[in-house]
Structure 1
């Protein structure tokens, strides 16, 4: 018989499903399965390769997911110690499947090994208990949740990374079966609007499978946010059978009062197991909160936390009891009244001696909001911590539940890492800090800023510039552009409808929203909403004037961006082709009482609006106006246009307002950010008058600090001799400084640890804390005179493959001579460079670590270049840069210079031109000089510049010869040597 593609797909699927424990000879498995249902089926590797070559989507997806799952598996028994996500692991899989070389090549081409790094883990040492065998022994909720993620269309690699990150969290919690009580506390750092809920849902699923029997999720400060989290967990983890609790889904009388049944359009999409888990030896999940009801007390009193025991002679955490007991889960607001009630109930139960046996997990969503203690330590009586309400209640929960594990989730971690680690009742992540990877398909800071772009500003277009494609500046002197933003929202909605009519799944455009954020004052929200409503209804988009306005915006903006960035998604060929969809888009936005919704208020009733419930409302096409409540945890679905002009003095607030970050599948090219420019005031300092700072650039600076923090974590996550290089308590000194004019989140404490040395072999290091005083600037310029003397008069061409060529004056300098220069430099913040200087000094003391440096002074060739002589040498090209972070520069580098320096230091597997290649030495570093001016320089008639106007900036890449496998990359020392064991000390105490 002819084996149709459908039959082949069925056989492949069943064969792979049979390989739950390990890969085994595939065609043998297929033959065994076919013998029963399709005895005449013809099966061969050639048929398999042919289907792969034809691009059969279902088969490709099936094999991609299975191969990726095997690739990501952590130390399975069949792996023979092959590392996860490696070519060695994949080849072992092929061997066990008994595939020939041709089939291996076909599968590698279809589903290549994903080698991108996963989550970064900073941890202190722990006792391994969550082995692959232990995880698989009682696995039930995690495999089901994995299926949910796959059905949602998450790429196999995204599911693999989520599995990997969730495993990293659970393995660092205490073993729920162990006899002694132990608490672990950790922090998971994600990105704003990046799917942190999916990660903690995965952690919850794995934790329940492992034996945790009470899960408390702190889900926001509003019931709207709490209900969002509750529904998500109910839909994707708890499942229909646990929600029904034994009720007959076919008997309406038994369904009265049960969540979702009959009033949720997606009830059929809720995960279903086909049976009550307890009927098949798995734990049921009992909900102690519901979609509409926050925690209101244990409904059955103490009995709600009484767990049935198979062996009453053993405690609940004994394996004989633990894996047959139902789990309890509650999603509660971070609200004083609610948490006080929970604490009160637990104290009543504590008297019965039950709590000490319960393995519990506390998940704290947006853990830097409300959870952190913000009281002033100077006002504490007797030195005992005085806590804010929510922090105090969380502390009591941890005290009442001695087997509770605390895991915080946030996108802005700085407040959490400055919590006092010596306070055992607080939430400092003593045990681990995990930084999640940037998800595939996520629009983040890199998609709205031209960070380190190699394209000169004058050559940037919507095709090669993120800023030009997505950002529209709002300047005080050019109007507020609010009407344009509203028009953009309407056009984007019409394009979505066009795409839905041309094959893109309509569900992808279920919601279409615009966010307007100017103030935290509720009175101003109402006024702004009225203004927007009036402007919207007076805009007459279907009349001749309105049509001309929309046509112009489409032609000059959307058409150009979509042509460059739509990436194959259907796009109208002209405004005339789009015009029929504009009326329908306007109808959807106008549906209901108003196109505008105000999101603010102090009462829960202020948020009980149907159009704010993205889960229960089929289509939300609205303009949202609000303040703080829009910046924390509130997921604005379908967000396409953002109008943001709010002024803030809080760095973490600025980060959290990045609601325009997120997943925008099918409409990335339509996303627009209208953001205030040059309107945030920077206070005056002793050396600089007050000035206006560009809000967009300030946001970029904060984002850079966060990215720098993630980069630092990833560098120090590698174990040395099997031990961590840094532990969570050593993280604070690694936190980059925010904009000095934005208030930090940290309390007035500092850790009793000082960063002494940072070893950076093969890493581009770029100091930014240059002085501002004219005398200090002149001093630094004079220090660099010996370096300027080694540079040749004639520039030479430098280039690295795929990089932009440039010319530079070059020379070499002995390491000892360069150290003499670096040791004499002055800084606005010396502590930012001293750990790097210590590394270079140490390299000079180590035998044959660094011989010399290849010095590069790049020269511009543009007709608009600035040139000047420095201390009689030169001329040199002057770079114009600004201090975007108070006294700190935002960034000075140019990417093509970075590539050349990395190659010269032996840190990049690139090929340079002849001059670069002939100057590479095993113990030679690369140093790049950037003479920087901050304003229009005054050049004397003989072409010289006053040294007091010049910042002699530089960057360096130390040679790989400084890398030593037996040395940590960071070294600390106690600030107060008499208190080496103290985790923190008062900053003021040091100055007395």
Structure 2
């Protein structure tokens, strides 16, 4: 068996050589040759194939920088970082620590860029006066949020923030785990006295993480440790206030009212000048981890805020210079905070008015989308529980008794032993390996599960030790060993590049190493990964718990998960998914057992979460701000709720139509800025080239716009890709996003679209045009209004017309053949024309497919009578014309206050009957083209 420590040294050297940002992916042969040279130089006997496989994985990984919504604030200079010379000592040490800890160099570099961007969203700590900033960072469950905010902490300390508060969940074990991460990534030294002594005895130093990376590391002042939360008496005994320390001061506290009160009291008593309401000269950064949990004010608006929410707001109010940044993977409760909420004592609520940043997960993230929205992955990794209800029901009392474990749980335990053995065979014997069992919130039931799991483990262990070395035909007669072999084959572990005979050689050590641990509020020391790491060993543990395993806590090396719980809230269910995260070198071995209902729920929540992220990305493209960003989360049609009802007091559930049956959706608000129009014209040109190159035989003429270019029968994906890149004004973004959702709903019924580049006949070449290849697309003139009060401006954009229309009357006929035009005339003859003066729908009824119309608009100011009256020239706009099918589908959404106000304000002027939009009544009456 190869030595894992030696293999890791070779791996780090290999990744360090080839993994830098900007370098090309090296060939396998080059990696193998370099790995062999390194192994020979170190005189190591290592598994070259395994090292190269892991190196390729690390080198190839990427991570995007995410997207942000920024609130305009005159008091904040967004470029303040560029005006100062900052030595990034803490930050550079932290990023180097990540690289040495096995992070892909590219991902570490990207994280450095993201945290630099985030610290820029904070205020310059050197700015005088009184200011506060409020922001929210949205990540994925177990995706590296802690790593991100540690990077932000390091950058903020470098920039001059003097006091940093990290609030780490509501449980002791989560606070302790976060303190360990802070010690490692920022402080640089072990804070637990017992562990410090052991580590000094083993290695000669108590330094860890960044303390080992940089010998000259300037250790911050930490007023908390892994052993102790913040205590006012301890802080007071130091006889120093925040201004007395030259180094940054950090505290890692539990989100608990008594702790928050103690910290508030210490700040008031020992740091605030007598007679002053605020601490004047100490810039403060407040990191609220799991910001959707306990921080939210769940009281009714007419009541005082809840205690925890009030204490957080009070603490922020104690500083003249403060920044609040919430971190969460489940932002549903945060987006429902009323942005106008205010209390005289506690001041404004925690709405992230200044910025919302949505983190990208690295491409090796093992998350909800991969597990529940990818059918192949879902079939491999997800297993349905069908036999637990009769033994440990979803609803049971704290005194519930049972005499045996469900067969599915026994199968999961067997699979865990197999995974430990296979990972050892892969050279990962020194990597932590864990299993999660979450079937009850009651401590007594958890203890009984632990007792029976321990008994079953002992039975398996005895069978393995007794029979693993025997001939195969004899070993298979043992029922326990036969069951393990059956699990190996049934769960397809035999596809993991290892055969049963090899597994048998590693099973004895695997079975000896596995222990169990009950993890709840009464057993704080269950998962002591750090102590095992200090000894260079792996903790192989089956963690049994409830609430403590349901949020925030990282279960290292998690491979097997067994959860049978009945919570019905999006955020709680996602947070219970401790199996999300990173599984380098063993993702193929992970398995998750869930109740059938839970599998369906996770699928729905994954889709709703992705839609929420898409909404943020779309609003980023149109430069929306947190205060103008209307958010809505799709409701579950049956029994799930988005979050706890008392967290949604400012939210409303409404049925929102996603049907555009027979409707025309247009981008009738145009930006004043020229850049979006330049980008959209380039997008028009790319689409035109694609259609010319790949769909030449589908080009047609016809209808009342014979000068237009029309392609018929184009795949719907072409339209969807175009819409994903088309830039719209923020006012049109919600409408376009809903239309894209509807497009996905009707894709099966309408797999192809028509696409029209709408152009008028250019008599005498008098009208402006734009050239795409050999095609001259004539601009369409539109008015911005007909009177001064109708010359409307919205957030820097202009209405195309006072009745919000882009297409002319004949535009939707583009590309129709003579038979279709005759049919349209018969439709027109059968209707009362007075009922369709604002839009001619006769062509929609005969086309039989959706139509994408592309327009170039010359926007004119009707109040200026001269050739200089054009507000915009050649501004791209689009229209989506959906056929009438009679189908009408709706979706229930939960809306935040911003979205509610947006929907309620969708009141525009009635159609102006004098504006005919290229209408030629004589042509319509005769059936001829205008």
Smaller-chain TM-score range?
0.5 to 0.7
CA distance in 2, matches of 1:646, 1:841: 55
The answer for the alignment partner of 1:691 in structure 2 is none
Per the alignment, in what secondary structure is the counterpart of residue 272 of structure 1? helix
Q: Describe the shift of the 1:129–1:806 C-alpha distance in structure 2 as closer, same or farther (beyond 3 A).
A: closer
CA distance in 2, matches of 1:852, 1:481: 61
The answer for the alignment partner of 1:391 in structure 2 is 309
Whether contact under 8 Å (1:166, 1:202) holds in the other structure is yes
How much has 1:512 moved relative to structure 2?
1.1
Match of 2:321 among 395, 399, 403: 403
CA distance in 2, matches of 1:168, 1:517: 38
The answer for the alignment partner of 2:366 in structure 1 is 443
How much has 1:200 moved relative to structure 2?
0.4
Per the alignment, in what secondary structure is the counterpart of residue 141 of structure 1? helix
Whether contact under 8 Å (2:223, 2:250) holds in the other structure is yes
Q: Describe the shift of the 1:128–1:53 C-alpha distance in structure 2 as closer, same or farther (beyond 3 A).
A: farther
* CA deviation string 1:222-276 (max 9, x = no partner): 3322222122122222225x989xxxxxxxxxx9996775268795643237888
Instruction: Report whether the alignment pairs 1:237 with 2:237.
Output: no
The answer for the alignment partner of 1:716 in structure 2 is 619
The answer for the alignment partner of 1:512 in structure 2 is 433
The answer for the alignment partner of 2:122 in structure 1 is 173
Q: TM-score, normalised by structure 1?
A: 0.58
CA distance in 1, matches of 2:114, 2:373: 29
Match of 1:523 among 435, 444, 458: 444
List aligned pairs for 1:882-901, cutoff 5 A: none
Instruction: Report whether the alignment pairs 1:638 with 2:557.
Output: yes
How much has 1:534 moved relative to structure 2?
2.8
The answer for the alignment partner of 1:55 in structure 2 is 30
Q: Which structure 1 segments of 5+ residues have no match?
A: 1-8, 24-47, 61-108, 245-254, 310-324, 378-382, 454-464, 563-570, 590-594, 678-693, 764-794, 817-837, 856-900, 908-920, 932-946, 956-968, 979-992
Q: Describe the shift of the 1:841–1:577 C-alpha distance in structure 2 as closer, same or farther (beyond 3 A).
A: farther
Match of 1:125 among 59, 66, 72: 72
Instruction: Report whether the alignment pairs 1:295 with 2:233.
Output: no
CA distance in 2, matches of 1:486, 1:519: 17
Instruction: Report whether the alignment pairs 1:736 with 2:634.
Output: yes
CA distance in 1, matches of 2:91, 2:129: 26
The answer for the alignment partner of 2:348 in structure 1 is 425
List aligned pairs for 1:140-179, cutoff 5 A: 140-179=89-128
CA distance in 2, matches of 1:364, 1:902: 47
The answer for the alignment partner of 1:533 in structure 2 is 454
Per the alignment, in what secondary structure is the counterpart of residue 181 of structure 2? helix
The answer for the alignment partner of 1:474 in structure 2 is 385
* CA deviation string 1:915-969 (max 9, x = no partner): xxxxxx997858699x9xxxxxxxxxxxxxxx9xxx66699xxxxxxxxxxxxx9
Match of 2:572 among 653, 671, 696: 653
CA distance in 1, matches of 2:162, 2:366: 36
Instruction: Report whether the alignment pairs 1:600 with 2:520.
Output: yes
Whether contact under 8 Å (2:550, 2:572) holds in the other structure is yes
Q: Describe the shift of the 1:551–1:421 C-alpha distance in structure 2 as closer, same or farther (beyond 3 A).
A: same
The answer for the alignment partner of 2:824 in structure 1 is none
Q: Describe the shift of the 1:135–1:671 C-alpha distance in structure 2 as closer, same or farther (beyond 3 A).
A: farther
Whether contact under 8 Å (1:756, 1:971) holds in the other structure is no
Q: Describe the shift of the 1:110–1:138 C-alpha distance in structure 2 as closer, same or farther (beyond 3 A).
A: same
Whether contact under 8 Å (2:714, 2:752) holds in the other structure is no
Which shows bigger deviation, 697-706 or 122-131?
A: 122-131
CA distance in 2, matches of 1:403, 1:639: 41
How much has 1:198 moved relative to structure 2?
0.7
How much has 1:367 moved relative to structure 2?
1.2
Q: Describe the shift of the 1:432–1:561 C-alpha distance in structure 2 as closer, same or farther (beyond 3 A).
A: farther
Match of 2:526 among 590, 606, 609: 609
Whether contact under 8 Å (2:412, 2:562) holds in the other structure is yes
CA distance in 1, matches of 2:195, 2:560: 39
CA distance in 2, matches of 1:136, 1:620: 44
CA distance in 1, matches of 2:501, 2:883: 53
CA distance in 1, matches of 2:101, 2:851: 43
How much has 1:555 moved relative to structure 2?
2.3
CA distance in 2, matches of 1:701, 1:402: 44
Per the alignment, in what secondary structure is the counterpart of residue 30 of structure 2? coil
Per the alignment, in what secondary structure is the counterpart of residue 576 of structure 1? helix
How much has 1:752 moved relative to structure 2?
14
CA distance in 2, matches of 1:168, 1:756: 37
CA RMSD after TM alignment: 5.1
CA distance in 1, matches of 2:612, 2:255: 28
Q: TM-score, normalised by structure 2?
A: 0.61
How much has 1:488 moved relative to structure 2?
0.8
How much has 1:841 moved relative to structure 2?
13
Q: Describe the shift of the 1:115–1:903 C-alpha distance in structure 2 as closer, same or farther (beyond 3 A).
A: farther
Per the alignment, in what secondary structure is the counterpart of residue 358 of structure 1? coil
Match of 1:365 among 284, 289, 295: 289
Instruction: Report whether the alignment pairs 1:339 with 2:260.
Output: yes
CA distance in 2, matches of 1:111, 1:546: 38
How much has 1:533 moved relative to structure 2?
2.5
CA distance in 2, matches of 1:854, 1:657: 54
List aligned pairs for 1:76-475, cutoff 5 A: 117-126=64-73, 127-131=76-80, 133-134=82-83, 136-240=85-189, 261-262=199-200, 267=206, 269-272=208-211, 285-297=220-232, 299-300=235-236, 303-307=239-243, 325-348=246-269, 349-352=271-274, 355-377=279-301, 383=302, 385-422=303-340, 423=342, 424-451=347-374, 465-475=376-386
Instruction: Report whether the alignment pairs 1:556 with 2:490.
Output: yes
Q: Describe the shift of the 1:429–1:344 C-alpha distance in structure 2 as closer, same or farther (beyond 3 A).
A: same
Whether contact under 8 Å (2:432, 2:529) holds in the other structure is no
Per the alignment, in what secondary structure is the counterpart of residue 711 of structure 1? helix
How much has 1:670 moved relative to structure 2?
0.3
Whether contact under 8 Å (2:562, 2:593) holds in the other structure is yes
CA distance in 2, matches of 1:579, 1:171: 55
The answer for the alignment partner of 1:748 in structure 2 is 649
CA distance in 1, matches of 2:143, 2:106: 16
List aligned pairs for 1:11-22, cutoff 5 A: none
Instruction: Report whether the alignment pairs 1:851 with 2:812.
Output: yes
Q: Describe the shift of the 1:928–1:586 C-alpha distance in structure 2 as closer, same or farther (beyond 3 A).
A: farther
* CA deviation string 1:538-585 (max 9, x = no partner): 3464252222222222223234553xxxxxxxx31x211211111111
Per the alignment, in what secondary structure is the counterpart of residue 355 of structure 1? coil
Residues matched between the structures, number: 655
Whether contact under 8 Å (2:63, 2:362) holds in the other structure is no
Which shows bigger deviation, 189-198 or 50-59?
A: 50-59
Whether contact under 8 Å (2:667, 2:878) holds in the other structure is no
CA distance in 1, matches of 2:324, 2:627: 16
How much has 1:136 moved relative to structure 2?
4.9
The answer for the alignment partner of 1:698 in structure 2 is 601
* CA deviation string 1:700-757 (max 9, x = no partner): 11121111100100011125xxxx32x2234453333355522343332248999999
How much has 1:128 moved relative to structure 2?
2.7
Q: Describe the shift of the 1:237–1:548 C-alpha distance in structure 2 as closer, same or farther (beyond 3 A).
A: same
* CA deviation string 1:156-191 (max 9, x = no partner): 331232122212221111210111111001111111
The answer for the alignment partner of 1:80 in structure 2 is none
The answer for the alignment partner of 1:92 in structure 2 is none
Whether contact under 8 Å (2:656, 2:890) holds in the other structure is no
List aligned pairs for 1:841-990, cutoff 5 A: 845-847=806-808, 851=812, 925=880, 973=902, 975=904
Per the alignment, in what secondary structure is the counterpart of residue 634 of structure 2? coil
Whether contact under 8 Å (2:150, 2:182) holds in the other structure is yes
How much has 1:133 moved relative to structure 2?
3.8
How much has 1:111 moved relative to structure 2?
13
Whether contact under 8 Å (1:124, 1:432) holds in the other structure is yes
